[in-house]
Copies of this chain bind each other. A is one copy, B any other.
Amino acid sequence: MRVGVLTGGGDCPGLNAVIRGIVRKGVQEYGYDFVGFRDGWRGPLDGDVTRLDIPAVRGILPRGGTILGSSRTNPFQHEGGITRIKENLAKQEVEALVVIGGEDTLGVAARLSDDYGVPCVGVPKTIDNDLSATDYTFGFDTAVGIATEAIDRLHTTAESHMRVLVVEVMGRHTGWIALHSGLAGGANVILIPEQRFDVDQVCAWVTSRFKASYAPIVVVAEGAVPKDGDMVLKDETLDSYGHVRLSGVGEWLAKEIERRTGKEARTTVLGHVQRGGTPSAFDRWLATRFGLHAVDCVRDGDFGTMVALRGTHIVRVPIAEATARLKTVDPALYEEVEVFFG
């Protein structure tokens, strides 16, 4: 049996660990043959394949990125895209596809599997951890670790100087990275996309922090937006969710804090540093196990399903259902963390 593998969407530490898990188990235990499709859905669309055997996955476990390349190509937006995919799979004699990706990439897999008879197994991938069907996605722990280490370093600067330090972390639509790294780093304010923030409240926390001890650290998710009255910036726009989007909310917030409190504020923008480099041990464990279980789904002919983490167990859920809803930060959890603000 020949199985195809592809990775789609944004970069995420652990992608290579999934691929290695799939290939090692598939070849050694089930005698499968593998074909890697390049650059997400572009691969099966263009018939662009690469060798994927045991030597090809040697040494890739600790490496970030993906040896298969990635893209945001959506075959449903290509005239005759589905037909071309089916032809290319047939030409390569591929009988099943393991699709590793986020909402968009897996959404294609769900439709192909459910509506077009292309046997797909999904592996969830989002650095933002915002998929409701799984406790965690790989890459998230790595991103949180990098952001936490940065916040740790800022504490000594905060101790020595009287400056507000603003850290902008990833998270367009959800605040998981901000919440986890902010809590783990001992931030004094954490702002997430799920709840519009009030700049005056932020300034109140900042001011009270200066009184209690040393300088405050403010962690803000890139997708966090201020309340209406606070939108004084010119370059705001609406994003695809209808949210107000600020380009560089970290810089903007730092300037607002300076203006309103009279305290100097400095910004750190971690950017892509959070999604590159070697995965954490947790992410390697999770990604590897996702790979091992995904190939078991193939063996069981259990298509249209996705692997997911529940507690310490890997379970299977329908892809379509799994990608239907964004997992946002529960207000109760945010409130739990607020005890550390100010």
Contact = CB atoms under 8 A, between A and B. Distances in A.
A272 B282 contact: no
Which residue among A10, A59, A156, A289 has the maximum number of chain B CB atoms within 10 Å of its CB?
A: A156
A161 B39 CA distance: 10
Nearest to A69: B160
Given A183-B284, A339-B25, A271 B276 contact: no
A270 interface: yes
A153 B158 CA distance: 24
Contacts of A70: 160-161
Contact of A159 (B65, B149, B275): B65
Interface residues of A, number: 74
Given A160-B69, A267-B269, A141 B282 contact: yes
Given A153-B146, A160-B69, A311-B135, A165 B285 contact: no
Interface string A263-295: 000111111110111101110110011001000
Contacts of A285: 144, 180, 183-184
Contact of A284 (B10, B148, B311): B148
Closest 6 CB pairs of A and B: A64-B156, A153-B277, A65-B156, A153-B276, A184-B281, A268-B271
12 contacts: A59-B186, A64-B153, A135-B311, A141-B281, A144-B282, A154-B276, A157-B276, A158-B276, A180-B281, A185-B281, A282-B282, A289-B336
Interface of A: 10-11, 13, 24-25, 28-29, 58-59, 61-66, 69-70, 135-136, 141, 144-150, 152-161, 163, 165, 180-181, 183-186, 213, 248, 251, 266-273, 275-278, 280-282, 284-285, 288-289, 292, 310-312, 336, 339-340
